[in-house]
Amino acid sequence: MNDIAISGLLIVALFALLGSGVWIGLTLAGVAWIGMELFSSRPAGDAMAVTIWGSSSSWTLTALPLFVWMGEILFRTKLSESMFRGLAPWVDKLPGRLLHTNVIGCTIFAAVSGSSAATCATIGKISLPELERRGYPKGISLGSLAGAGTLGLLIPPSIIMIVYGVTAEVSIAKLFIAGILPGLMLAGLFSLYLMAWSLIHPDQVPKPTEQLSLRQKLSESRHLIPVIVLIGAVLGSIYAGIATATEAAALGVVGALLLSAGQGSLNWQNFSDALLGATRLYCMIALILAGAAFLSLSMGYIGLPRNLAEFIGGLGLSPFALILLLMAFYILLGCFLDGISMIVLTMGVLLPTVQAAGIDLLWFGVFVVIVVEMAQITPPVGFNLFVLQGMTGRQLTEIARHALPFFLLMCAMVLLLWWFPGIATWLPGKM
């Protein structure tokens, strides 16, 4: 059976299981088991046990539940409300008003976590309830969060960039610096879209309750101080080399507990609710991660990513046509694999072709990360879509529809990156 037939069979199995109501993580693992059992010689049961244990017992992954717990604490105490109260006066003049807090929050938190899932889950726990309480439309709130949540992969520190740097033998420090400007530009594009959307739909954005003077705005900004202190402590500990991402996440939890206790909003009920909420949400994410890891292993044994990469490499395309085809290729792979697996399984085959086309490997690293970001909000296996579905209970197709404009903005960012490569290479060149 050729690769196209195998891919078609697995896609049909994936949609059939998802449509029947099977949990997402179990669906991914089930499709992986079908693929490995039918199209490879490796025993599927043994591979599944080893892979799921390995993906669930990673020390690096410990940062994720801690950041989720920090978000739960902020959500269940007055800290999240204080953050919105402090931000509101400054974004009131912008079309879209508080919708921009999703983009701003994800941009800031992306520099803390390096994980798309942690960024999406943490900011979502803080922003979605507040936006809904203030009367903002659920659709645009979900779409902007799904799109902006992907910034956790591009704005350093980024796990994906580390994997690419090791695989392609590119300086990880330069990759981190190369991701700063594209990440900020992408956040800017998201905010511009929110402004345009709000101007087209002015009746769907709540009106400001009152006009504040500059002095009053500064007075309201004092409510931002606790959250800024918390973010500064987490970020500062990472960039000063005092703590790893996991240790910084633990610091964030302790800091959130201390600040909420200092505000008098921490009690046993809030503490236990936050702990149980974080446990439930992380278990959902961990099950999806385990299923995605097994699906990635299954695709590797079947050989689909390598065969497709070899096919692309043998076409002899122009650099621009090669980039467009690779963008489509990685979006397709994103339907089956997580970002790290996409890079590990394809770079060995694609890098010689990319270098032969005269494409700078530092620039290509930023390009790959943006395209992997797209895959995070591309059904049927867009990871951010799953996270938001687990948090809100909304249909996957509904969330994907609201995230589509942000997917198209990422496509536009790739074209900007091609026409103006200095967006990625200028800052590293100053080192």
For residues 303 and 401, state if they share a domain.
yes
Distance set, CA 345 to CA 48, 298, 302, 303, 395 (Å):
18, 12, 12, 9, 31
Domain stops at, among 230, 248, 276: 276
Is 66 found in the same domain as 47? no
Q: Treating both helix axes as pointing N-terminal to C-terminal, what angle do 63-76 and 116-133 enclose, rounded to 10 degrees?
A: 10
Query: Does residue 98 sit in the same domain as residue 178?
Result: yes
256 in the same domain as 186: yes
Let me know: does 13 contact 31? Beta carbons within 8 Å. Answer: yes
Residues 170 and 184 in one domain: yes
- Strands, E, within 26-88: which ranges? none
Number of other residues whose CB lies within 10 A of the CB of residue 369: 25
Q: How many degrees, rounded to 5, is the angle at CA 365 between CA 359 and CA 366?
A: 105
Is the domain of 54 the same as that of 65?
Answer: no
Containing structural domain, residue 148: 60-276
Shared-domain flag, residues 304 and 220: no
Per-residue pLDDT 10s for the chain (431 aa) are 566 677 677 778 877 876 677 777 788 888 888 888 888 777 888 788 888 887 777 776 677 788 778 877 877 777 766 776 777 777 777 887 788 888 888 887 776 655 677 778 777 877 888 788 878 888 898 999 988 888 877 887 677 787 788 778 788 778 888 888 999 999 999 999 999 999 898 888 887 666 666 677 777 777 777 877 887 787 778 767 788 777 888 888 898 899 888 888 888 888 898 888 888 877 877 787 788 778 778 877 877 666 766 777 677 788 898 899 888 888 877 766 666 667 766 776 677 778 878 889 999 999 999 998 888 887 766 778 888 887 787 887 888 888 999 999 999 999 999 999 999 989 888 76
How far apart are the C-alpha atoms of 346 and 349, rounded to whole Å?
6
Same domain? 309 vs 203 = no
Do 181 and 307 share a domain, yes or no?
A: no
CB 159 within 8 A of CB 400: no
* Domain end call among 208, 243, 276: 276
- Structural tokens at position 91: 């974004």
Question: Both 388 and 418 in a single domain?
Answer: yes
Provide the Cα torsion 224, 227, 230, 231; round to 10°.
-90
Specify the DSSP class assigned to residue 221: G
Same domain, 168 and 22: no
Q: Count how many domains the chain has.
A: 2
- Boundary-marking domain end, from 226, 246, 276: 276
**Residue 231 sits in the same domain as residue 102:** yes
